[in-house]
């Protein structure tokens, strides 16, 4: 079979790395990027912990209150997503100088298919070394790189050498490399699946190759064969450059659980505005609108509806979202989080083309375009709904 060379590039403690680079006085200190700890009462989680902070037992996705208890004297910073997105663009730019086949996985991670670049740049290991050097020289950041014949093994390999790692798994070595690792390392095995498999006595990746895929299907409700192929180190998925969003959404957790209809309504409207603006930004419109509500006890519900005609404006989406919300929350419902999502995305044709089809430009879209323009020029605070200002005052913020 045709032998591919795949790289998985994964930045080390990315947000923390960027902050330390920009503020050298932070170097060597335990640094936590994430929610405001508020003296141990904060509600969010840790986004990234520096390696110094990890020595205290702090890690990503941990409640910020736990992190604060473990290390109150750490430096706590709020994430600056706009900055990280800019750095991410610079990283992707570097990666694209090695091959066109770059598939971003997240803001700080990507797969590269360098099969066709070997003639120009050398072996997979050579290319990995050069990628790391470029990222270090140009951006003063470190990345860990895994090299293998497919995406899954490359991903596990990059994780294996962290931080500042370079791990190559040669073709044929995959089973020996994977067998002793815990099943949790398999892509798609999270806490639930891990527990189901553990109860069946399966704890190492190698264990999965010693049962039948039907047995796995029965225990997990499908996906057994895929899991088994990964466990053997087989993964045919191609590295495919960006395909665009399938959904766009925003959600927010209240500082304190609330049953205040006005607060809920105003927050829903604010979220809807952000979603609609991003839809227009990406030149897409949505046919499906979803509202999510999480109650104080963490039970979570969603309601969605599909529109007759795709929408990309607050004027069209907000009433739908409000209606869905009313079916989710009673007057007494104590709410922890609400969210708005747009999916079933279709490309929104430029207005010139709409007219070609004999459809007049809509007023709501003209208004939205004007608002987008003002926000671009003067920032988000320049324009807002009277209702949002009112609710903000009401909360005393």
Minimum CB distance to DNA smaller for 43 or for 129: 43
CA distance 35 to 26: 18
Sign of torsion over alpha carbons 50, 51, 56, 57? positive
Of residues 109, 170, 314, 355, which has the active-site annotation?
109
Q: Which position has the token pair 């995406």?
A: 151
The site map against DNA for 41-60 (x = CB under 7 A) is: -xxxx-x------------x
CB of 387 to DNA, least distance (A): 20
Tell me: does residue 339 bind DNA (CB under 7 A). Answer: yes
Tell me: does residue 353 bind DNA (CB under 7 A). Answer: no
Which of 250, 261, 326, 385 is the binder for DNA (CB under 7 A)?
A: 250
Minimum CB distance to DNA smaller for 194 or for 315: 194
CB of 121 to DNA, least distance (A): 26
CA distance 36 to 44: 7
Q: Phi, psi at residue 57, to the nearest 5°?
A: 95, 10
Minimum CB distance to DNA smaller for 121 or for 181: 181
**Residues contacting DNA: total by CB under 7 A:** 60
CA distance 20 to 31: 9
Q: Catalytic site residue 109?
A: yes
**What distances in angstroms separate CA 189 from CA 78, 144, 183, 207, one per listed residue?**
30, 22, 7, 14
Which of 72, 222, 319, 350 is the binder for DNA (CB under 7 A)?
A: 222
Q: Phi, psi at residue 39, to the nearest 5°?
A: 60, 30
Q: Residue 216 is encoded by which pair of tokens?
A: 């796995």
Tell me: does residue 192 bind DNA (CB under 7 A). Answer: yes
CB of 298 to DNA, least distance (A): 3
Tell me: does residue 109 bind DNA (CB under 7 A). Answer: yes
Residue 292 pairs in a beta bridge with 302, 339
Q: Residue 12 is encoded by which pair of tokens?
A: 């080390």
Residues with Cβ < 8 Å from 103, sequence gap 6 or more?
110, 111, 112, 239, 240, 241, 242
DSSP conformation class of 108: T
Tell me: does residue 190 bind DNA (CB under 7 A). Answer: yes
CB of 226 to DNA, least distance (A): 8
Q: Strands 166-168 and 143-148: what pairing? A: parallel
Which of 32, 35, 178, 321 is the binder for DNA (CB under 7 A)?
A: 35
Q: Strands 31-34 and 46-49: what pairing? A: antiparallel
Minimum CB distance to DNA smaller for 64 or for 117: 64
Tell me: does residue 304 bind DNA (CB under 7 A). Answer: yes
Residues recognised as catalytic:
109
Residues forming the site for DNA (CB under 7 A): 35, 42-45, 47, 60-61, 63-66, 69, 105-109, 155, 186-194, 221-223, 245-253, 274, 278, 287-288, 290, 297-298, 300-306, 336-337, 339, 341, 343-344
């Amino acid at each position: 079979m045709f032998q591919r060379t795949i790289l998985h590039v994964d930045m080390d403690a990315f947000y923390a790395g960027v902050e330390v680079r920009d503020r050298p006085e932070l170097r060597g200190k335990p640094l936590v990027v994430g929610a405001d700890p508020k003296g141990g009462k904060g509600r969010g989680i840790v986004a990234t912990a520096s390696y110094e902070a990890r020595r205290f037992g702090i890690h990503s996705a941990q409640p910020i209150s736990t992190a604060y208890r473990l290390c109150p004297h750490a430096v706590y910073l709020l994430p600056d997503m706009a900055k990280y997105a800019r750095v991410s663009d610079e990283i992707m730019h570097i990666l694209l100088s090695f091959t066109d086949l770059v598939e971003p996985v997240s803001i700080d991670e990507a797969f590269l298919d360098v099969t066709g670049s070997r003639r120009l740049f050398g072996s997979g290991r050579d290319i990995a070394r050069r990628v790391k050097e470029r990222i270090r020289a140009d951006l003063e950041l470190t990345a860990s790189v895994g090299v293998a014949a497919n995406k899954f093994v490359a991903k596990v390999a990059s994780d294996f050498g962290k931080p500042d790692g370079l791990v190559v798994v040669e073709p044929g070595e995959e089973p020996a490399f994977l067998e002793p690792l815990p099943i949790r390392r398999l892509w798609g095995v999270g806490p639930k699946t891990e527990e189901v498999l553990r109860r069946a006595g399966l704890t190492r990746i190698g264990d999965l190759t010693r049962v039948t895929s039907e047995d796995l299907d029965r225990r997990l409700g499908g996906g057994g064969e895929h899991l088994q192929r990964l466990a053997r180190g087989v993964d045919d998925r191609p590295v495919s450059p960006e395909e665009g969003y399938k959904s766009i959404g925003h959600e927010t957790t209240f500082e304190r659980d609330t049953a205040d209809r006005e607060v809920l309504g105003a927050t829903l409207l604010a979220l809807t505005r952000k979603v609609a603006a991003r839809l227009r930004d990406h030149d897409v419109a949505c046919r499906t609108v979803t509202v999510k509500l999480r109650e104080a006890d963490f039970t979570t519900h969603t309601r969605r509806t599909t529109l007759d005609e795709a929408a990309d404006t607050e004027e069209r989406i907000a009433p739908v979202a409000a209606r869905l919300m009313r079916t989710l929350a009673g007057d007494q419902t104590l709410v922890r989080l609400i969210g708005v999502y747009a999916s079933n995305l279709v490309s929104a044709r430029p207005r010139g083309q709409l007219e070609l089809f004999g459809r007049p430009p809509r007023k709501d879209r003209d208004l939205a375009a004007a608002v987008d323009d003002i926000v671009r020029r003067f920032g988000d605070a320049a324009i807002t709904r009277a209702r949002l200002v009112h609710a903000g005052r009401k909360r005393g913020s």
